[in-house]
Amino acid sequence: MTVLERFLKGDVRALSRIVSYVENRENGYQDLLGRLYEYAGHSLRIGLTGPPGAGKSTLVNGLTRMFLADGKKVGMIAVDPTSPFTGGALLGDRVRVQDLPMDGSAYFRSMATRGASGGLASATNNVAVVYDAFGFDVTLIETVGVGQVELDVIDSCDTVVVVIVPESGDAVQTFKAGLMEIADIFCINKADRPGADRLAADLKQMLDTRRTIEGAWPIPILSTQATNRGNIDKLYQQVAEHVAFCRKSGRFEKHRHTQLRKKILAILKNRFQQEFIDSLADESELDAAVQTIVDGESNPYAVGDLLYRRFSR
């Protein structure tokens, strides 16, 4: 049996092989991914984002247990754009997944920046497609903060949970951090700590004063205590309600349509870009062009224009 056949039969080791293959963009990974799309499209994608140490992993663990109890298969991805280490599974993450079943109903990977930066978001999306094709009903994606990589990752999710803690400051700071824009659900974790109620009230006021569009999803604010599973069931329920809301309003399909559109454009952009750069393979030509600018005979835009015209001819 080939690795792909074993993968399609639910072999977890084959899953690991294919995830690595896609993650490392090994030769021919696009063809393989292309084939996997045939089996994908069924997995829900739920993103959890928030400041470091907010309790995202603990919440992911809690949600995973609830999905498992509901008979669902769950894939987890932890994305850490700040860590340069390959497969940088943090000790904490390993500990947290240790007590999850090993029968393939739950699977965890952590992804860190490697090689070419900027590819982390697309690598994460690709791994999520592998999970989807493998048959995970749900993919939970954890990211830290809100940089461009995280936004790209989060953008592909059907539901986004923003996790904040009393320590992360007031509602205004949450707003400034750009977290208001991306949240479908607010989760104030570590509600056992002082300041949680105040933060919830401020956040509510902030959300209330924003002009709400007719028929928009009313963003809920939940307080959780992830370490003792406090209110995890409420979070689980809100996620389900958000998904149901999106399906009913057509937002779900529309969002997925947009994602596929973006994917096609990204593929095209990469290909054209590569083709163009390849056409400039003669470095001396580029150096000569630089010299014309140094000599005051041209400028970068004029050179770019010239090279582009020649390429497109």
Ligand X SMILES: Nc1nc2c(ncn2[C@@H]2O[C@H](COP(=O)(O)OP(=O)(O)OP(=O)(O)O)[C@@H](O)[C@H]2O)c(=O)[nH]1
List interacting residues with ligand X (CB under 6 A): 52-58, 92, 144, 189-190, 192-193, 225-227
The least distance separating Mg ion from the CB of residue 55, rounded to whole angstroms, comes to 8
- In the list Mg ion, ligand X, none, the entry touching 225 (Cβ below 5 to 8 angstroms by class) is ligand X
Strand arrangement, sheet containing 138-144: 106-112, 74-80, 138-144, 44-50, 159-164, 185-188, 221-223
Three-class SS state of 13: helix
Contacts of 51 (CB under 8 A, 6+ apart): 144, 145, 163, 164, 165, 168
Both tokens of 273, joined, read 């870009």
Between 51 and 135, name the residue whose CB sits nearer to ligand X: 51
Q: Which residue is nearest to Mg ion (CB)?
A: 57
Report the distance separating Cα 15 and Cα 39, nearest Å.
14
Phi/psi region, residue 219 (left: phi>0; alpha: psi -120 to 50; beta: rest), is: beta
Task: Name which of 84 and 300 has its Cβ closer to ligand X.
Answer: 84
Contact 133, 40 (CB under 8 A): yes
- Taking the complex as a whole, the smallest distance from the CB of residue 52 to Mg ion amounts, in Å, to 8
Q: Binding to Mg ion by residue 57, rule CB under 5 A?
A: yes
We find the least distance from the C-beta atom of residue 43 to ligand X, in angstroms, to be 22
User: Is 230 strand, coil or helix?
Assistant: strand
In the complex, minimum distance from the CB of residue 290 to ligand X, in angstroms, rounded to a whole number: 43
Size, binding site for Mg ion by CB under 5 A: 2
The nearer residue to Mg ion, 69 or 91, going by C-beta atoms, is 91
Which is closer to ligand X, CB of 82 or CB of 205?
82
Q: Which is nearer to ligand X, 123 or 226 (CB)?
A: 226
Binding segment for Mg ion (CB under 5 A), chosen from 12-20, 49-57, 161-169, 247-255, is 49-57
The answer to whether the CB of 199 falls within 8 A of the CB of 207 is no
Which residues of this chain interact with Mg ion, rule CB under 5 A? 56-57
